[in-house]
Structure 1
Amino acid sequence: MSGLHRSSSAPLKNALPPQELLDDLCSRFVLNVPKEDRQTFERILFLVEYAHWFYEDNTVEKNPSLKSLTLKEFTTLMFNNCEVLKPYVPHIDDIFKDFTSYKFQVPVTGAIILDQTYERCILVKGWKGSSWSFPRGKKNKDEDDHTCAIREVLEETGFDVSKLLAKDAYIELMFGKQRVRLYIIAGVSDGASFAPLTKKEISEIAWHRLDDLQPASDEVISRSVTGLKLYMVTPFLKSLKSWISKHAPHVASKSDAFHRGFSVWKSKNSSSGSSSALVDNQHTKLVSNPIVADTGPSDNRVAETGPGKSFRNFRFDSRLIIQAMESGFSA
């Protein structure tokens, strides 16, 4: 990797991590782990990725003079400066390429969270870029699908679905060699609190109308009819609507204000707009039944994710104002 050399001079802006820091990261994340986790390059690269997350989320944040690095740049530094990895430096490009391919074969699970009308779902927007997706993430070794879904949804939204998740209520698709299973969590109040427990992974969480997510195509990465950029959302919509048609409750029609999409949490770095909506407090029983889709695209793209921790922003409640307006109209 040309142009990437560690500086031994006094700290400068965008300086590369010093040898002492790299030694510490290597010791903490690579050397002091069970031996079986260092038996393959795939496992070693996962350990290096954890070290990269720690470096970006903790070290760089505390010391802004350090350079923020891509995973490939960080991996190259680690291999060049960690004694146990140095022998493999000549093969680092092939190792990283194989790791990237392997990484997108790891099963992914998450959840499709529906509101009480079954007309809206929760989507999260990645920290980088502008794509929206269902909360989900990769399974850990020997982790059950539903356990991974609960963990990932909690990390990305701060919402605990453990008491709402039914193991047989899910949609599953194959994206190339990667299996993606999303559990359907229905009947969630749109007044529920959402805020990611990780830092620099999610920039916004919002309720989106399913009707507004209708795409121009069934690609993994697509745009909705409203122009929203979607990642791993479109392929699930057909099966989701089929499930909803069988299980949605009969809810009395309300003003359009109840059904609009709206943002429930936004980080300071997010600039996208959102609409407010009235909170619906009607309680709806969760109905759980499986529907497994038998088709899906073979495209395989890189998700816009990473780890971290954030704070929940204040959300303005327009309920009383709208109620007053509606009372005035009917008077």
Structure 2
Amino acid sequence: MAGLHRSSSAPSKNNLPPQELLDDLCSRFVLNVPKEDQQSFERILFLVEYAHWFYEDNSVENNPSLKSFTLKEFTSLMFNSCDVLRPYVAHIDDIFKDFTSYKVRVPVTGAIILDEYYERCLLVKGWKGTSWSFPRGKKSKDEEDHTCAIREVHEETGFDVSKLLNKDEFIEMIFGQQRVRLYIVAGVNDNTVFAPLTKKEISEIAWQRLDDLQPANRDVISRGVTGLKLYMVAPFLESLQKWIASHQPIGVPKANMPLKALSMWKAKNSSVGGSNSTAIPETHTIKPAPPPPATAAAAAADFSHSSSSGPGKSFRNFRFDTSAILRAMETAFSS
């Protein structure tokens, strides 16, 4: 994509977005941001990621002739199209590699939601692939663990756990350099309506029987007895079973019949789905507008303890050429 520059407003023959659209994305998500968001490539890549979400969820949906891109492809496109980023195109592989390495160190929090019988848990399946997980996501800068969990669960399921979450009841594990904390939220009615608030992030939400899931061990590290892929579920199950054994209240009601796995929401246009899930009509939701560029600094997690080594380390002290930004902004707003 090197040297990409077009003035036409119509998509090119290879379905790349028109330069007019790319200029708008660059101005909106990269140029028109506070200075603190211009301090490192990590923060800039978070801005590019916002632009990518906006492009996929708005531009592509409103104009099917536009091509969808992976984040890496879109990042390359933005760097080639945005004047203040173009000087760094030669280093884009290192920059992107450093960003993905950075992201896997961001702490993750979420919730293990149990039904009122303590026999099923709520799992979500990603938009791409077939793996299931508990609803969870990465912390923003200076965000408290439980606040992140409430936000992420709400975004991925549409359910507000703020009144049910106990900050002292959680299971925490370390995967590589990433800390994952899941708060246990028990006693949720299985008739609760669930639906993600974001597009193209979650393909299905379902109650799954705990008896059908298996804790991680040498033989079972990713799948339950029903064949579900449980890479980020299995490691928590042993601790969860112990928690249930010690916290399940005496006299908790038992179901009149064996509880089955139950799909609560499924994306209509998703091509992936578990063989044991029950398809239901898509619940139509509206994705909230992407976080304004002014909040991008909050999206980059604060790692005062992170190492300066690793891929792309020479770019950690990156600073934009402020004069170039001002000139670009003046040009954008005067046109």
> Which interval holds the TM-score relative to the shorter structure?
0.7 to 0.9
Runs ≥4 residues deviating over 6 A: 6-9, 218-221
Q: What's 1:120 paired with? A: 120
Alignment of 1:210 with 2:204, yes or no, is no
| C-alpha distance 67-5 of structure 1, shift in aligned 2 (>3 A) | farther
CA contact (8 A) 2:117 2:254 kept: no
Deviations 1:289-328, CA, capped at 9 Å, x for gaps? xxxxxxxxxxxxxxxxxxxx9627xxxxxxxxxxxxxxxx
Q: What's 1:86 paired with? A: 86
Aligned partners of 2:218 and 2:43: how far apart in 1?
Answer: 33
State the Cα distance separating 1:56 from its structure 2 match: 0.5
Residues 193-272 of structure 1: matches in 2 within 5 Å?
193-215=193-215, 217=217, 222-250=222-250, 251-257=252-258, 259-270=259-270, 271-272=273-274
Secondary structure of the residue aligned to 1:256 is coil
| C-alpha distance 164-55 of structure 1, shift in aligned 2 (>3 A) | same
Residues 314-325 of structure 1: matches in 2 within 5 Å?
none
Aligned partners of 1:246 and 1:218: how far apart in 2?
Answer: 26
CA contact (8 A) 1:110 1:134 kept: yes
State the Cα distance separating 1:272 from its structure 2 match: 3.8
Cα RMSD, aligned residues only: 2.4
Secondary structure of the residue aligned to 2:269 is coil
CA contact (8 A) 1:197 1:310 kept: no
State the Cα distance separating 1:13 from its structure 2 match: 7.2
Q: How many pairs does the alignment contain?
A: 278
Aligned partners of 2:24 and 2:219: how far apart in 1?
Answer: 43
Q: What's 1:176 paired with? A: 176
Q: What's 1:76 paired with? A: 76
Secondary structure of the residue aligned to 2:222 is strand
CA contact (8 A) 1:154 1:161 kept: yes
CA contact (8 A) 1:134 1:232 kept: yes
Aligned partners of 1:156 and 1:26: how far apart in 2?
Answer: 28
Gaps of 5+ in 2: 286-335
Letter in 2 for 1:36: E
Deviations 1:129-174, CA, capped at 9 Å, x for gaps? 1111000001111111111110100000000001111111111111
| C-alpha distance 261-13 of structure 1, shift in aligned 2 (>3 A) | farther
Aligned partners of 1:146 and 1:13: how far apart in 2?
Answer: 48
| C-alpha distance 195-226 of structure 1, shift in aligned 2 (>3 A) | same
Q: Judge which range, 160-169 or 244-253, deviates more.
A: 244-253
Gaps of 5+ in 1: 277-308, 313-331
Aligned partners of 2:19 and 2:120: how far apart in 1?
Answer: 50
Q: 2:284 aligns with which of 280, 303, 311?
A: 311
Q: TM-score, normalised by structure 2?
A: 0.77
State the Cα distance separating 1:249 from its structure 2 match: 2.3
State the Cα distance separating 1:255 from its structure 2 match: 3.8
State the Cα distance separating 1:112 from its structure 2 match: 0.3
Letter in 1 for 2:156: E
Deviations 1:177-211, CA, capped at 9 Å, x for gaps? 11111110001111111111111111110000111
CA contact (8 A) 2:6 2:19 kept: no
Q: What's 2:24 paired with? A: 24
| C-alpha distance 18-183 of structure 1, shift in aligned 2 (>3 A) | same
Aligned partners of 1:262 and 1:205: how far apart in 2?
Answer: 9
State the Cα distance separating 1:273 from its structure 2 match: 4.5
Q: What's 1:165 paired with? A: 165
Residues 96-107 of structure 1: matches in 2 within 5 Å?
96-107=96-107
Aligned partners of 2:15 and 2:220: how far apart in 1?
Answer: 37
CA contact (8 A) 1:132 1:231 kept: yes
Secondary structure of the residue aligned to 2:46 is helix
Letter in 1 for 2:190: D
Q: TM-score, normalised by structure 1?
A: 0.78
| C-alpha distance 26-220 of structure 1, shift in aligned 2 (>3 A) | farther
Q: What's 2:132 paired with? A: 132
| C-alpha distance 44-252 of structure 1, shift in aligned 2 (>3 A) | closer
Q: Percent of aligned pairs with the same residue?
A: 74
Letter in 1 for 2:28: R
Alignment of 1:34 with 2:7, yes or no, is no
